[in-house]
Amino acid sequence: MIDFFALIFLGLVQGLTEFLPVSSSGHLVLLSKLFGLEDSLFVSIILHVATLLSVVFVLRKEVWGVVRHPFSPLGKNLIFATFPTCLIVLLIYPFVTEAFEGALLPLCFIITAVMLLVCDFYIKKRKVMCEGPISTKQALIMGTAQGFATLPGISRSGSTICAGIFARGNREEVAKFSFLMSLPIIVLSLILEICTLATSHAFPSVNMLGLIAAFFVAFFVGVFSIKFMISLTQKLNFRWFGFYLILLSVVTLFV
């Protein structure tokens, strides 16, 4: 059984790393190896629900608009972004299991670091600010980046935001769309995890008080992380995350 404080720690890590450009899955794989934390599918489901609600809360206006008008330009772009993500996940799925064992973690952390540093340099050299909502082309490009972020160590938020900026998207719109496009993927992941849990016929042994506390920690920290990332994307100061991931990649070589 995962104890109370370990659950709180996992909730904190999930809320922070799900939306910061450092890869939540990569951190959870690394922490499991470092501290021998038990991998609980049930805990993963609950914490994913918490971060899902974080996105819905912060971007409630946009989410409600899509619910009311699912075939609006934003709704269609979310569909366009989800399609390449699912296709790429199916293509690289044979590598995903190996990746979650930590074999590719140093390489994936480095890939994310290089991407963030290049994006930081690119936007500072570009003088013209792009305006307007996300286009279909930009949605497809961001959805493609999201597909590769299935591999732990490659940040979903980092890769999609950088892809949107390289595609000449407006920074604030790119950041918001990055978090909105995570909703269908989180929902699909939850459905898969729930099906896996249901077919295993194993009732999880979890400290329920700790799990409830971890849920709220993940939710509130997730809200903070989303708002921070939207603000950070407007300033585009990703280099410190890049340096951090380079250091983390070196650490994973010795774990």
What is the pLDDT averaged over residues 94-119? 84
CA distance 155 to 54: 18
Between 119 and 196, residue with greater pLDDT: 119
- Would you tell me how many other CB atoms lie within 10 Å of the CB of residue 172? 12
* Domain definitions of the chain by residue range: 4-252
Percentage of residues in the chain with pLDDT exceeding 90? 47
Residue 226: its pLDDT value, please? 93
Residue 159: its pLDDT value, please? 95
User: How much is the CA Rg of the chain, to the nearest whole Å?
Assistant: 18
- Would you tell me how many other CB atoms lie within 10 Å of the CB of residue 59? 19
- Would you tell me how many other CB atoms lie within 10 Å of the CB of residue 195? 10
Residue 54: its pLDDT value, please? 95
Residue with structure tokens 């990703």? 238
Q: Which residues pair with 206 in a beta bridge?
A: 2
CA distance 225 to 17: 8
Q: Are 162 and 120 in contact (CB under 8 A)?
A: no
- Would you tell me how many other CB atoms lie within 10 Å of the CB of residue 243? 13
- For the cut 60, the answer to whether the pLDDT of residue 180 exceeds it is yes
- For the cut 60, the answer to whether the pLDDT of residue 1 exceeds it is no
Residue with structure tokens 């994310």? 112
What is the pLDDT averaged over residues 170-185? 91
What is the pLDDT averaged over residues 160-180? 91
Q: Please give, one letter per residue, the 3-state secondary structure of 208-222.
A: HHHHHHHHHHHHHHH
CA distance 238 to 119: 8
For 11-33, the DSSP string reads HHHHHHHTTSTT-HHHHHHHHHH
What is the pLDDT averaged over residues 79-101? 85
Res. 245 pLDDT band, cuts 50 70 90: very high
| Helix 208-235, helix 4-17: angle, nearest 10 | 20
CA distance 129 to 136: 19
For residue 206, report the phi and psi dihedrals to the nearest 5 degrees: -135, 140
* Assigned token pair, 205: 């042994």
* Assigned token pair, 233: 């994307």
- For the cut 70, the answer to whether the pLDDT of residue 38 exceeds it is no
Rounded to two decimals, the pTM is 0.89
Q: Which residues pair with 2 in a beta bridge?
A: 206
Res. 158 pLDDT band, cuts 50 70 90: very high
Burial call 61-100: b when 16+ CB within 10 Å, e when fewer? ebbeebeeeeeeebbebbebbbebbeebbeeeeeeeeebb
Listed ranges 24-33, 44-53, 202-211, 243-252; the one with the highest mean pLDDT? 243-252
CA distance 178 to 201: 35
Average pLDDT, the chain: 86
Residue 39: its pLDDT value, please? 59
